[in-house]
Structure 1
Amino acid sequence: MFEDIPVDVGIIYEGERIRGSDMRIELGGPREEYKFELVQARGMDEIEDGKVIIIGQDISDFPERTNTPFGLIIEVAGKEVEKDLEGVAERRLHEYCNYIEGFMHLNQRYDIQMRISKKSFDKGFTSFKHMGEVLKRLFKSELSFIEKIQLTFITEPDLVKEWYSKALEIYEARDAKARGMSDDDVDVFYGCSLCQSFAPTHLCVITPQRYANCGAISWFDGKATAKVDPKGPVFEIPKGEVIDAKTGEYVGVNKVIQEKSLGEIERVQLYTTFGYPHTSCGCFEGCAFFIPEVDGFGVVHRNFKGQTVNGLNFVTISDLTAGGRQVDGFHGLSIEYMRSLKFLDADGGWGRVVWMPQDIKERIQDFLPPEIVPTIATESDVADLHQLKSWLMEKNHPIVERWSEEPGFAPTEIGEITVPTLEMPASAFPIQGIPSGMGFTIILKNAKIKAEKMIIKADKRR
């Protein structure tokens, strides 16, 4: 099927990571403001089947280790193709691109990051024509409703920027469709396992009020996907009995989560960051993170380049959140979920959010309680936790009232804290069953460890 492609293509390459030092080129990514991938439904007579168009420089035209603005438009047609299937096909790009040897695809929509390795480039993968050939064959063989397909690769900066704006409007129109529905209105949720090649224990649970973490699959998208590709990575999850409506825990969801994570994850609560929070891969649009000093939450998104109010950047917070783990106080999410009435509902919702980047606040403020909007700080308002605490009191954020109502809680006096160091005397002792000098691994499950300081010293042996 791919004999004419200069590199291998297959599922074995899913999950392959390409470091910056090993890449030939990066398409989109965090250094580029304008990037997108978009699938559009067309009439049968509107496109030329199999045509690959390149506008701008091709892969081989760029110097080594280049970053470039990038757009990919895929137009599909067929008797069964409809607008509701655009998001279905679009999200499969993540899977199909990662089948290519030496090709890494991360994220989705307007957050895409793609890398081609130097090794694959040296093998001859030097043109978007090769990528187009792979994608058109995979789409038509895997998604039977696609009868015709045409692909356009754009690296010309001005055109990428122009289409980026159009793409945002298209994404918004899709997202708006599910608004107004409630999780209580349906008996079935949907699961997505597309990201398990990167995070084997992660499974996205998609509900009317909780979009997929990547921001690319709504409940309607999940329904359409499961219908046209019943054996694919998106499938039905019967809700089952409600265990806790406030936290969003359901018998049916827990059952499927246990199966798909091979028992690693036993419970998931959809509307909280504590206890059994929804897991995350690394493709989420943003993260909610707990700020214990003020008993509130911050939210940061992938395109925020600075430091958050607690001194951490998105990459650091992302590392703490991703990997299919359940980490108290960290929660991967989509921007659309932030517009939902179920957003962090069990944790206090918007009455508990104290900080977020200015651009995200502006994007979603029409969906926030109007009295909350002026009380949430941004990077333009405060620079650190000292200023945040003062801001919250000055603006009379609802969290301030919570400080007095919550027994035993007081906002931390933020400053330099000197903690006396207690060091155990060095000692060597045998562990039964482990020969001297042999390494071993200790795995702690369901453990919570709190330490004021950790000291690691080299063992100075003669």
Structure 2
Amino acid sequence: MFENIPVNVGAAYEGERIRSANMFVELAGPKSIGAELVRVKEDVEDGRIKVIGPDLDEMKQGERHPFGIKIEIAGKDLEEDLEGVIERKIHELCNYVQGFMHLNQRDQIWCRVSVEAKEAGFRLKHLGEVLIALFKEEFNIIDKISVTLITDEEKVKEFVEEARKVYEKRDARVRELSEEDVDVFYGCVMCQSFAPTHVCIVTPDRPALCGAMNWFDCRAAHKIDPEGPIFEVEKGEVIDEIRGEYSGANDAVLEKSQGTIEKVYLHSVFEYPHTSCGCFEAIAFYIPELDGIGIVHRNYKGETPLGIPFSTMAGQCSGGKQVEGFCGLSIEYMRSPKFLRADGGYERIVWMPKEIKEMVFDFIPEELRDKIPTEEEAVTIEEIKEFLKEKGHPIVKRWKEEKEVTKEKKEEKEEAEETPAVYAPELALPTSGGVRIVLKNAKIYAEKIIIKKKK
């Protein structure tokens, strides 16, 4: 099938990582722009591959270029609802190519080409050939397919804007549903090639961490590929509605994580947060000094209030780990009415980058919009604390309440320690009816001891 491709192609190369020392060029990624998009069309020129902008032989080692992957498909059984499902497969199928690395999804893609692949003669047109062949093999409902690969900066910018409009249309549709409206959730283990214990639970209120798959997308994916990486999860018993704990979800993560993860809270970063793969768009992280939660996304280049950048934090909580106080999530989940509701929702959010805030601004309660600082107002713990006090963020009231509770507990402890005690190795209590009660090694506490002279 791939005789004309100068590198090997197969599932064995999925999960291959290309480090900077072995990188020829980087395409898109956190320091550039890029996107991927699948569209169902009526008129598609089957097999057409177009490269807009410089190909690999026109690039220099160590360079970074914007990158767009646009795939158009046609088929009598194809419908618009399947676009997101087929689009998510780009990640997996690109990684079948030896020497080509594809990470993330949608407008967060990050690709690299190895030095060895380039020297072997690999070009972007070969990537197009592989995608066409593998997509037709994977989805027999695709009759025609064309691939356009874009590296011209201005064209990529236009393409990213086009793609984002499509993403928004897809996401808006699922906002009309809630977890109470359905009996079935969906699970996804597509990322287990590099996060072996990660099981993504997708509900109407919680899209996949990658942001690329919502509940409708998963339903369509399972329908066309029942044996694939996306599977049905019976909701089962509602164990904790606020935290988002369901017996069916617990059973699914226990089974699919090889017994590593026993339970999951879908709407909390505490105790049993959702596992994180590495494809997440953002991370929610607990800030102990503020008793609040911060949000950071992969496009943010600076340090978070914890003193570490996104990349370091991602390394700590990715790979399928369940780390209390840290949770990968999609930007779309921040638009959900159940967004971290067990932790207080937006009333518990005390910091986020300006870019995220602008993306979800209309979904933040109006009374909180000017009370959550970004990197432009505060970054350090002390700066954030002063900002929150000045703006009257609800977390400030929480601090006062916790301080009062702590003070009461301290006073109770001190009072107990100061209360006089009478110790007796043996103490007999007066009774009637011929019964005698004897207390051995008794220690009696009393607020007051009154001694009266017997008359």
- Superposition TM-score, scaled by structure 1 size: 0.86
Name the structure 2 match of 1:122: 119
Tell me the secondary structure at the aligned position of residue 104 of structure 1: strand
Name the structure 2 match of 1:66: 63
User: Is residue 2:306 matched to residue 1:310?
Assistant: yes
Instruction: Map 1:235-246; keep pairs closer than 5 Å.
Output: 235-246=231-242
Could you tell me whether the CA contact under 8 Å between 1:35 and 1:164 is conserved in 2? yes
Name the structure 2 match of 1:445: none
Name the structure 2 match of 1:15: 15
How far, CA to CA, are the matches of 1:363 and 1:149 in structure 2? 33
Name the structure 1 match of 2:387: 391
User: Is residue 2:180 matched to residue 1:184?
Assistant: yes
How far, CA to CA, are the matches of 1:233 and 1:179 in structure 2? 24
User: Is residue 2:58 matched to residue 1:56?
Assistant: no
How far, CA to CA, are the matches of 1:134 and 1:218 in structure 2? 27
Q: What code does the residue aligned with 2:355 have?
A: D
Aligned length in residues: 406
Tell me the secondary structure at the aligned position of residue 366 of structure 2: coil
How far, CA to CA, are the matches of 2:66 and 2:405 in structure 1? 48
Tell me the secondary structure at the aligned position of residue 406 of structure 1: helix
How far, CA to CA, are the matches of 2:344 and 2:403 in structure 1? 16
Q: What code does the residue aligned with 2:107 have?
A: Y
Name the structure 2 match of 1:449: none
Q: What code does the residue aligned with 1:94 have?
A: H
Q: Which 10-residue stretch deviates more, 393-402 or 301-310?
A: 301-310
Give deviations 1:335-369, integer Å, cap 9, x for gaps: 00000011111111111001001121111111111
Tell me the secondary structure at the aligned position of residue 174 of structure 2: coil
User: Is residue 2:128 matched to residue 1:103?
Assistant: no
Q: Which has the higher helix share?
A: 2
Name the structure 1 match of 2:157: 161
Name the structure 2 match of 1:404: 400
Could you tell me whether the CA contact under 8 Å between 1:87 and 1:216 is conserved in 2? yes
Tell me the secondary structure at the aligned position of residue 173 of structure 1: helix
Question: How far apart are 1:408 and its partner, in Å?
Answer: 6.8
Name the structure 2 match of 1:94: 91
Q: What code does the residue aligned with 1:396 have?
A: G
Name the structure 2 match of 1:5: 5
1:262 corresponds, among 246, 249, 258, to 258
Instruction: Map 1:51-450; keep pairs closer than 5 Å.
Output: 51-125=48-122, 127-406=123-402
Name the structure 2 match of 1:24: 24
Q: What code does the residue aligned with 2:376 have?
A: S
Tell me the secondary structure at the aligned position of residue 374 of structure 1: coil
Name the structure 1 match of 2:438: none
How far, CA to CA, are the matches of 1:194 and 1:221 in structure 2? 14
How far, CA to CA, are the matches of 1:407 and 1:190 in structure 2? 42
Tell me the secondary structure at the aligned position of residue 346 of structure 2: helix
How far, CA to CA, are the matches of 1:408 and 1:228 in structure 2? 57
Q: What code does the residue aligned with 1:205 have?
A: I
Structure 2 stretches lacking a partner, 5+ long: 407-455
Could you tell me whether the CA contact under 8 Å between 1:195 and 1:202 is conserved in 2? yes
Q: What code does the residue aligned with 1:283 have?
A: C
Question: How far apart are 1:22 and its partner, in Å?
Answer: 0.4
Q: What code does the residue aligned with 2:34 have?
A: K
Q: What code does the residue aligned with 1:360 have?
A: I
How far, CA to CA, are the matches of 2:317 and 2:391 in structure 1? 30
User: Using a 3 Å threshold, how does the CA distance of structure 1 residues 405 and 180 change in structure 2: closer, same or farther?
Assistant: farther
Q: What code does the residue aligned with 1:291 have?
A: I
Question: How far apart are 1:293 and its partner, in Å?
Answer: 0.5
How far, CA to CA, are the matches of 2:367 and 2:148 in structure 1? 45
Question: How far apart are 1:166 and its partner, in Å?
Answer: 1.1
User: Using a 3 Å threshold, how does the CA distance of structure 1 residues 234 and 388 change in structure 2: closer, same or farther?
Assistant: same
Tell me the secondary structure at the aligned position of residue 293 of structure 2: strand
Q: Which 10-residue stretch deviates more, 292-301 or 161-170?
A: 161-170
Give deviations 1:284-342, integer Å, cap 9, x for gaps: 00001101101001000111111223322111111122110011110100000000011
How far, CA to CA, are the matches of 1:333 and 1:79 in structure 2? 35
Structure 1 stretches lacking a partner, 5+ long: 411-462
Question: How far apart are 1:124 and its partner, in Å?
Answer: 2.2
Alignment identity in percent? 55
Instruction: Give the root-mean-square deviation of aligned CA atoms.
Output: 1.2
Give deviations 1:182-241, integer Å, cap 9, x for gaps: 111100011111111110100111100001000000100001110011111111111111
Name the structure 1 match of 2:34: 35
Q: Which has the higher strand share?
A: 2
How far, CA to CA, are the matches of 2:249 and 2:96 in structure 1? 29
Could you tell me whether the CA contact under 8 Å between 1:299 and 1:357 is conserved in 2? yes
Question: How far apart are 1:409 and its partner, in Å?
Answer: 7.3
Give deviations 1:228-264, integer Å, cap 9, x for gaps: 1111111111111111111111111111111111111
- Superposition TM-score, scaled by structure 2 size: 0.87
How far, CA to CA, are the matches of 1:337 and 1:42 in structure 2? 29
Could you tell me whether the CA contact under 8 Å between 1:105 and 1:115 is conserved in 2? yes
Q: What code does the residue aligned with 2:77 have?
A: E
Could you tell me whether the CA contact under 8 Å between 1:70 and 1:155 is conserved in 2? yes
Question: How far apart are 1:398 and its partner, in Å?
Answer: 0.5
Tell me the secondary structure at the aligned position of residue 191 of structure 1: strand
How far, CA to CA, are the matches of 1:19 and 1:408 in structure 2? 52
Could you tell me whether the CA contact under 8 Å between 1:309 and 1:379 is conserved in 2? no
Could you tell me whether the CA contact under 8 Å between 1:403 and 1:409 is conserved in 2? no
How far, CA to CA, are the matches of 1:142 and 1:133 in structure 2? 14
